[in-house]
Each structure stands twice: as structure tokens, then as C-alpha cells.
Amino acid sequence: MKILYEKCPNATSGLITAFLVFSFFAAWSQNNSGTVRKFENKEDNSKCFKCHFNNNYTVTSPDSSKIITRKMYMDLQIDSNVYYHSNHRYFKCIDCHSDEYFTYPHNNDLRFEDISTCLDCHGGDPKFEKFNFEKITEDFKYNVHSEKHNSTFSCWSCHDPHTYTTHARTDKNILEVVAYDNNLCLQCHANKRNYRLIIDKDNPNLVQKHDWLPNQALHFKNVRCIECHTKKSDTLLVSHHVMEKKDAVRACVECHSRNSLLMATLYKYQSKEEISRNGFLNSIILNRSYVIGANRNYYLNMISLAILYMVISGIIIHALLRVKAYKRYHGK
Amino acid sequence: MENKIYFYPVWLRLWHWSNALLILVLIVTGLSMQYSSFESPHIPFSLAVTIHNICGIILVFGYLVFITGNIISKNGRYYKMNLKEIGGQILVQFRYYLYGVFKGDKVPFPVNIERKFNPLQKFFYVMIMYIGIPLLIISGIGLILPQFIVSRALGVSGLLLTSLLHICVGFFVSIFLMIHIYFCTFGASITSNFKGMFNGWQETH
Ligand code: HEM
């Protein structure tokens, strides 16, 4: 998979699109269970998607009436199918972008348009309180990406507002959450072209860099990059403080132990839900996954200890009785 | 009369003691992984994993030696159980250990060239060697090569089920080990069975 990413950027976007489309089907089926809201903006939006859906567009020169076809840059391409399954699907393009974009060819000055940030809509709204947008924005300040790449690296770099869907905070299979979240990192870290759009060097080979990790493939499939590369946060479901490489977790026992850090990260949402549903005991064993050293079942522990004590005391009592009987038959 | 029988040929002794040593290391490293903690690492986790894996793999080869030895030598016959009779015989042997031994009763199934193990002993050896160890080996291989495990069974992770099996059987093998060592003191003298496992000759009562 990694090799595929390296050699063939198209495959990356293909994979990502396939993955996104897949997740949107899941989101769609979930939304369908509630009331169905109608898309009222499709007609307006279609004017934009007419060009922005495609990988090229045509412009007619106002002077010579010459028609030329140009490439649409990837960042400006938006798949309407994906958009209409994303969290922001009910918005009109011009809710966030200037309505002057309806003029075509677009006015050059529009590139100075202020692009809204997450907080512009989500800040201070009690409806979004549980998502902790303010705290995440604060956390993100210490993120290596924002320290190193300043303003070119923003929330949008990972969470494309046109495609984003909520993942971690759903009842989805953990593996899907892991794949989705890791894909966010891999978009650049496993893609030479995207990586180079941000920094002037080649992306390090992730497989090689992690070759110290036993069962690497299994780890990559079952845990997220952020489990080891972010600073744990008590208040946030997903910490946004991505640390420097040297601070990443390397000690196996941080996860492979009773106080597994995964309980504070990957399983945080699930275990909270499960604890409230099933009580505290067993919450991990029901977690449909297995981490050596972290999965401990209270009852099994108790039963095994009971058996152990019974066997040891049985042996001791038997041995004592034997000694007693021996003395009785063979004299002192 | 010389009351000694040559029960333990060299291959069996070599298998037995290497197996015993490996099992001990596997128990210690296994416990260390299962109860690993960040505050008090018993054995560094990755070291425990490596040792556990290596010993497990060597144990598989040892197990093959044991099975092959039991097939091609006469030792295998001591493990044959008559399913109809074994239940009753186990009961007799159990009663002997429960009170007969304290009353100075005679051993109900004296050792002879046709009978190396008493029925209870035979039952436990068969359970451990033909059911317990194979289950441990299969689940252990599953955990080393997790790509071969079914990922989900009845909504539970296959990895979880496999490791649960591995840990439970491992636990029973540890319990067997304690009982095994204790009952090895029931030879002609307390130490004679241990000596036998070293020099090959078992003293009979
Ligand atoms: C430190 C640990 C151990 C000690 C001191 C020990 C001691 C002995 C002794 C003295 C005997 C000879 C008595 C007899 O024939 O019943 C014996 C036999 C045997 N032991 Fe162990 N043992 C140990 C560990 C184990 C382990 C871990 C296993 C298997 C998992 C095992 C399986 C057996 C079997 C199958 C026999 C019968 C072999 C035969 O004659 O075919 N032992 N052991």
C-alpha cells in the first residue's frame, strides 16, 4: 500500500476518494434513519460544480473570443458526490465564498477574499460545545505543523471542509476510524507530491522509519498515527498537539499495559459509551479488539487467582497430612 | 531383586528437561507481558516478546520430537487409554490420594514395565501433551502470524479469542506444572522420580 502511494499519486487520490465515498455511504445510511432534510442548494451549487467538479475548464477570452481549456488544480476540484455526503453538505458554496464568484471568469481580486476559519462558525456555539473547537484551536498552536509551516498549514490542510465527515465520535468500527484518520496523515506523508507542496524535501519512508516496530502492518492497521505522535489530552477526544518526532511514544508498555494510553485516545469515545451502557467492568473486553497487556478481564483474573490459591493450598495441606501419616506409621 | 526399570530413554530425558525449561521461561515472560505496566516493568516488554516468541518456536520443535518419539518408540503405549475403564480407575487412584495414602494403603496401580503411569497421571499427561500443548502451539502461531486468524467471530475480535485461548491454556499448563512436580514426589522415595528423569531408571515400590 505504501509503495503504491509513493509511486502513483493518482492511486492515492483514487484510494482516498474510494474511501471517502465509502464512508459517505455509511454516513448516508445513518442520516437516512433520522428525518431526511432536503438539499435546497443543489441548483445554485451546480453552477460552481459545473467547472469545479472537473479536472479542466474552458475560458473564453473577452478580447479575442478565443476559447482555451485549462487544468483545474486539484485543490480546486470538488467532487459533488462527496460534498453532498459531507458534514457541510447543506451549505451553498456562496455561504462561505463570495457571491461574486457567480461572475465568470472570476474576478482576480477574489483571491484576496478572507477564507473563514472553523471558529468563525463553530466558535462559541453551544451546539458545538462538545467538539471543543476553541480548545482544539489552542492545542493546534503547539502542533509541529503549525510551528513549522505557519499560516500555510491550517485546519483545512487536514480537514477539507468540502469533504469532511465526523468519524471518531460515531459508533463506527474502530478499524474504519483508524483507516480514516491515518489517511489524513498519509495524504501528505505517503505522497511525495503533496508533501512537497508544503516543504522543500522528500517525504521520509514511513515503513523504514517505523521498522523498529514489531508487527508493523498490524500496528498500522489497528492504531492511529496520532496515538503515538500527539500529546495526550484529558479534555479533547482527539488531541491536536502533534509532537516533534523525538517526542513520539516508543515504549511498548505505554499501550501494552493496564493503563494503556489507548484508553485515553483511540478507545476514549467507545469506552465512555460502553461504560455508560455496560457498567465499568468488561468495558475493554467488549471493545472488539485486543491489545496484549491492556485487555484484562476482572472475572477471569479472579477465577484464575482462586484456582491458583486452591491448588497451592491443596498441595500444602496434602503434603502436611502426608508428613503426619508418615510419622504415625514410621515412628518419630 | 533389582527394582529398577529403564523408563526414560535419552531422547525422552532431553525432550523433558528442555521442554520444562522452555515452559518455565514461557510462563515468566508470558506473565510479564500480560501484567506489564509502565510504572514497574518486570522484563522490558519487547524483550519479553522476543524471548517468548523464540522459546515458543523452539518448543514446537521439541513437541515434534516428543510426538515422533512416542510414535516410533514403545513409549507411546503408556499414553494409550481405555476410555471405558479409565474413569473408574481414575476414581480409585483419586481415592488413594484423598485418604488411602494417609492410611498406608498399597498403591492401587503399581508401576511395572507395562504400566509406567497410574491412571490419573496418564490422564493428565494425555490432556497436557495431546490437547493442551497443541492448542497452545496453534494459538501461539496465530498470535505470531495474526494475518491467518479470522478477524471476527460472533462479533468478537478473532485476535481476542485466540489470545484468550492461549492465556487460559497457558494458565492450565502452569497449574499442571505445580501439581505435576508435587506428584512426582510420590515415587519409591520423595526424590527417586526426579533422579529417574535424570539417569533414565525409575525405582519401583
Ligand atoms: C521444572 C519442571 C518439571 C519437573 C521438575 C518435572 C519432573 C518430572 C519427573 C520427575 C518425571 C518422571 C515421573 C513420571 O514419569 O511421571 C516427569 C515426567 C513427565 N513430565 Fe515433567 N517435570 C517438569 C515439567 C514438565 C512440563 C512443563 C511438562 C509438560 C508440559 C512435563 C511433562 C511430563 C511428561 C509428559 C512426563 C512423562 C514422560 C514419559 O515418561 O513419557 N513436565 N516430569
Percent of chain A with pLDDT over 70: 74
Digit-coded pLDDT (tens) for B79-117: 999 888 899 999 999 999 998 888 888 889 988 888 889
> A285-317 burial, b for 16+ CB within 10 Å, e for fewer?
bbbebbbbbbbeeeeeeeebeeeeeebeeeeee
CA distance B65 to B11: 8
User: How far is it, in rounded angstroms, from Cα B189 to Cα B166?
Assistant: 36
Comparing C-alpha atoms, which of B107, B79, B113 is closest to residue B183? B107
Q: Closest Cα partner for A251 from A228, A270, A268, A274?
A: A228
Q: Which residues, at least 6 apart from A262, have a Cβ–Cβ distance to it below 8 Å?
A: A223, A227, A255, A291, A294
Contact assignment for B46 to A252 by CB distance below 8 Å: yes
Sign of CA dihedral B117, B120, B123, B126: negative
Whether A252 sits inside 8 A of B163 (CB atoms) is: no
How far, in whole angstroms, is CA B85 from its chain's centroid? 23
Q: Which residue of B has its CA nearest to A309?
A: B175
Q: Find the A312 Cα to ligand 1 centroid distance in Å.
A: 18
Residue A73 has pLDDT above 60, yes or no: yes
Q: Which of B81, B180, B189, B204 to mutate to test the pocket of ligand 1 (most atoms within 8 A of CB)?
A: B180
Q: Provide the grid cell at A291.
A: 491489545
pLDDT at A132: 83
Q: Across the interface, do A218 and B36 touch by the CB < 8 Å criterion? A: no
DSSP labels, A262-323: GGGTTTHHHHHHHHHHH-STTTTGGGS---TTT---HHHHHHHHHHHHHHHHHHHHHHHHHH
Answer whether B177's CB lies under 8 Å from A314's CB: no
* Residue B145: exposure state from Cβ atoms within 10 A (0-12, 13-18, ≥19): exposed
Q: Which residue minimizes the CA distance to atom 41 of ligand 1?
A: B75
Say how far apart CA B23 and CA B32 lie, in whole Å: 14
- Measured between beta carbons, the chain A residues lying within 8 angstroms of B97 are 318
Residue from the list B156, B163, B178 with its beta carbon closest to the beta carbon of A315 = B178
- pLDDT tens-digit series, residues A74-98: 888 898 888 888 888 888 888 888 8
Half-sphere exposure of A153 (CA within 13 A, CB side): 19
Nearest CA in chain A to B97: A318
Which residue's CA is the nearest one to ligand 1's atom 11? B197
C-alpha dist (Å) from residue A120 to A117, A138, A170, A201, B122: 5, 15, 24, 33, 77
A35-57 pLDDT tens trace = 556 777 888 888 888 888 888 88
Q: Classify B12 in phi/psi space as left (phi over 0), alpha (psi -120 to 50) or beta.
A: alpha
Identify residues of A whose CB sits under 8 angstroms from chain B CBs.
214-215, 217-218, 251-254, 256-259, 285, 288-290, 292-293, 295-296, 300, 304, 307-308, 311-312, 315, 318-319, 321-322, 324-325, 329
Grid coordinates in use for A178? 483508524
The pLDDT tens digits for B11-62 are: 999 999 999 999 999 999 998 888 776 666 678 877 888 899 999 999 999 9
Closest CA to A304 of B171, B50, B177: B171
Query: Is there a contact between A308 and B175 if contact means CB atoms under 8 Å apart?
Result: yes
Which ipTM value was assigned to this complex? Answer: 0.89
Category of A258 on φ-ψ map: left (φ > 0), alpha (ψ -120 to 50) or beta: alpha
Is B163 in Cβ contact with A289 (below 8 Å)? no
A293 falls in which pLDDT band (50, 70, 90)? low
Highest mean pLDDT among A216-220, A250-254, A282-286, A305-309: A305-309
Are A293 and B36 within 8 A, CB to CB? yes
C-alpha cell at A44: 445554485
Q: Is the dihedral of CA A121, A123, A128, A132 positive or negative?
A: positive
Q: Give the residue from chain B lying closest to A252, CA to CA.
A: B45
pLDDT at position A9: 39
pTM for the model:
0.68
B178 Cβ partners below 8 Å, 6+ apart?
Answer: A311, A312, A315
Helices then strands, each counted (H, E), chain A: 16, 2
- The C-alpha atoms of residue B45 and residue B170 are separated, in whole angstroms, by 18
CB nearest to B41's CB, from A253, A300, A304 = A253
Please check the confidence at residue A26 and state whether its pLDDT lies above 60. Answer: no
Distance of CA A211 to the CA centre of its chain: 22
Per-residue pLDDT, A45: 86
Torsion of CA B178, B184, B189, B194, to 10 degrees: -100
B5 vs B113: CA distance, rounded Å: 7
Residues from chain B contacting residue A311 (CB–CB below 8 Å): 175, 178-179
d(CA A121, CA A126): 12
| A142 closest CA partner among A49, A241, A65, A51 | A241
Residue of B197, B198, B201, B204 to test ligand 1 pocket, by largest number of atoms within 8 Å of CB: B197
pLDDT digits (tens, 9 = 90+) for B140-161: 988 877 667 666 555 556 777 8
Beta carbons of A257 and B37 less than 8 angstroms apart: yes
The pLDDT assigned to A85 comes to 87
CB contact under 8 A, A308 and B49: no
Give the model confidence (pLDDT) of A243-269 as tens digits.
888 888 887 777 776 656 666 666 655
Amino acid occupying residue B60: V
Q: Whose CA is nearest to atom 19 of ligand 1?
A: B16
Is B146 an interface residue toward A (CB < 8 Å)? yes
Rounded to whole angstroms, the Cα distance separating A273 from A312 reads 40
